[in-house]
Amino acid sequence: MISPGVARFLAGATQQTPFLVIDLDVVEQRYREIRAAMPYAKPYFAVKATPEPAVIRRLVELGACFDVASPGEIDLCLEQGAAPECLSYGNTIKKEADIEYAYKLGVPMFAFDSLREVEKLAQAAPGASVFCRLLAGSADARWPLSDKFGCSTDFAVDLLQKAAKWDLRPYGVSFHVGSQQTNPDRWDASIAAAAKVFGELREIGVELEMVNIGGGYPARYVDDVPPIAEYGDKISAALDRWFGADRPVIVSEPGRSLTADAGVLRAQVVSVRRPFEGGDRWIYVDAGKFGGLAETEGESIIYRVLTSQTGPTKPVVLAGPTCDSLDILYRRTKHELPLALDVGDTVDFLSAGAYTTSYSSVGFNGFPPLPTYCIGDKR
């Protein structure tokens, strides 16, 4: 689960912990795997997962496109060589000034899920291709999405019709079945909903062209997940089922699935508290919820953990270094760690390449943000 490159880096690492190391060759490998599993889908990397310049650069070289959430992410992609026409502004919550910024730079494609957002797009991005995000269930996802995003199919038909009237190009629909989605059957219902919107709009003379099937393809944390090929096959079958021979342009937004397994977050044991009065054994490490491990919230994402010690193990509570009780990583989930584990020993969180550095706080408790080292960079 640790790539040879990362293993070599960590073996010789003298950098102060905590830090993240990302192997760009693993990112490339995952990109090739998802292309092979879903040859019918154009991948737009969800930049928010790992907004690291070297990662973006490698994906540009591989011909990827990019799903961006803000002007900051647009700038990052363009600086790393992405063409503006390869960007999709997938955030449904955009300031009009930000829409205009993107539009003037040549970003061609924008998401919406409300009337207010269509109005802003018509105003600031005339003629742009727009797509409506549909509500989607995210059962079986470890990091679910909710009704914060997306609207009903009826509402979508109405909004896309309005978009057409207001000189936008009603390009398609999108949905997202939740991040770290462990069930490849979850795409079916949303593809059916997409087909319904396509059909209803066709009846009134509006031809949609694109379905954005979102992301959610899983990384390899503690639990086993189906191989990416199974996602590719099942999504393809669902597209056949609901669109038949008339398959639209398919866009996907892999994020976590490309970068998570490429990264290891190296931390160090800062303190150990032995059980008193039958309590837990606590291991405090120098990386915590405010220093990159935000997805441990609710113990949603359960990283594999390796330490520099061996020997008999016991379950522990794992906690971060800040004076905040929320900064407990795992309590219900008892990681079994060596009893010999002590101050100064290393603790590696595997598959930590996504949704870590970018979540890091600017300096909660005076601890600096998590630094990232990328290996395998050809430049």
Segment 159-218, which members bind a second copy (CB under 8 A)?
none
> Which stretch, 47-55, 166-174, 204-212, 232-240, contacts a second copy (CB under 8 A)?
47-55
Work out the number of other CB atoms within 10 angstroms of the CB of residue 295.
25
Query: C-beta of 254: minimal distance to a second copy in Å?
Result: 14
Is residue 72 a contact residue for a second copy (CB under 8 A)?
A: yes
Q: ∠ CA 321-360-175 to the nearest 5 degrees?
A: 130
Query: C-beta of 230: minimal distance to a second copy in Å?
Result: 25
> Which stretch, 55-63, 146-154, 201-209, 305-313, contacts a second copy (CB under 8 A)?
146-154
Q: Letter for the amino acid at 199?
A: G
How far is residue 170's CA from residue 201's CA, in Å, rounded to a whole number?
10
Task: Write out the binding residues for a second copy, residues 88-127 only, by CB under 8 A.
Answer: 90-96, 113-117, 120
Q: Which residues contact 299 (CB under 8 A, 6 or more apart)?
A: 330, 331, 332, 333
Query: C-beta of 243: minimal distance to a second copy in Å?
Result: 25
Is residue 328 a contact residue for a second copy (CB under 8 A)?
A: yes
Is residue 372 a contact residue for a second copy (CB under 8 A)?
A: no
Task: Write out the binding residues for a second copy, residues 273-292 only, by CB under 8 A.
Answer: 273-274, 276-277, 279, 282, 284, 286, 290
Is residue 73 a contact residue for a second copy (CB under 8 A)?
A: yes
Is residue 52 a contact residue for a second copy (CB under 8 A)?
A: no
Q: Letter for the amino acid at 99?
A: I
Radius of gyration of the chain (CA): 22
Q: In the structure encoding, which two tokens stand for residue 193, read together?
A: 């909903």
Q: In the structure encoding, which two tokens stand for residue 9, read together?
A: 């880096």
Of 154 and 209, nearer to a second copy (C-beta) is 154
Is residue 332 a contact residue for a second copy (CB under 8 A)?
A: no
| CA-CA-CA-CA dihedral for 198, 204, 208, 213, to nearest 10 | -30
Query: C-beta of 39: minimal distance to a second copy in Å?
Result: 26
Work out the number of other CB atoms within 10 angstroms of the CB of residue 179.
27
Is residue 360 a contact residue for a second copy (CB under 8 A)?
A: yes
Is residue 361 a contact residue for a second copy (CB under 8 A)?
A: yes
Cis peptide leading into residue 53 (ω within 30°): no
